[in-house]
Amino acid sequence: MLDIANLDLKYGQSQILFGVSVTAYVGHITAVMGNNGVGKTSLLKAIAGRHPARADRAEVGGATLPLSSAVRAARAGIAYVPQGREVFPMMSVQENLQTGFACLPKSDHVIPDHVFELFPVLRDMKSRRGGDLSGGQQQQLAIARALITRPKVLLLDEPTEGIQPNIIQQIGDALELLREQGQMAIVLVEQNADFAYRLGDSFVVMEGGRVKRSRDKLDYPKAEIMSDLSL
């Protein structure tokens, strides 16, 4: 479980996040939604240790989560798939996947079969350079690379952005399977409201760097979410 309480984040003298609290459970997808510029990406960067932040409480599985170091966050079980994917364009698909070994003991430096079962296209393209893949294939590669680290929490930032509909469906199916396997908590930042509502078990709607609403799906009809998002 990921438990963040009253997180604040600043860029220089400008405060971006104000007392943000998020809880994400194992076997559960928490969808973070909101218009552009409300702090969704900043929240994920803070959790992943990519930007210094402070919180009254930050824990993964009951253990303290460091908010100032990406390496320590990764070792604590945080896997972050950033907006824009950030695959290594000159490295092969296999080499990109192997970068996920960095936080694992040498005995675990094997790409597990389930990664290729989730995204079969990657098995067929193992020797192809990352930069030669389509945008959708790069997104699948970025998610697969994160899964190599055996995360406790998977953070996804806009995974459908610029992706063709058939691959959006494949990514959604993969996330549903990961949820069913019940081995990690998933936090999904997503502008595609239909995709987010399909997958989300609970929703956090942000506005102006704060949490405007946080509810489980059963208590949060889609029409009300759309109203909160002014869509």
pLDDT digits (tens, 9 = 90+) for 71-103: 999 999 999 999 887 899 999 999 999 998 888
Q: Is residue 165 part of a domain?
A: yes
Q: Domain limits at 187? A: 2-86+151-228
Sheet containing 63-64, strands listed edge to edge, beginning at the edge strand earlier in sequence: 14-24, 2-11, 57-60, 63-64
The reply to whether 48 falls in a domain is yes
Q: Is residue 143 one of the residues assigned to a domain?
A: no
Write down the pLDDT at residue 111. Answer: 87
Whether the full predicted model's pTM is greater than 0.75, yes or no, is yes
CATH number at residue 38: 3.40.50.300
Judge whether 91 lies within some domain.
no
Whether pLDDT at 231 is above 60: no
User: Is pLDDT above 90 for 133?
Assistant: yes
> In 3-state terms, the chain is what percent helix, strand and coil (to 5)?
40, 25, 35
Q: Where do we find the tokens 């971006």? A: 16
Mean pLDDT of 147-171: 94
Which pLDDT does position 106 carry in this prediction? 79
Per the structure, how many domains does the chain have?
A: 1
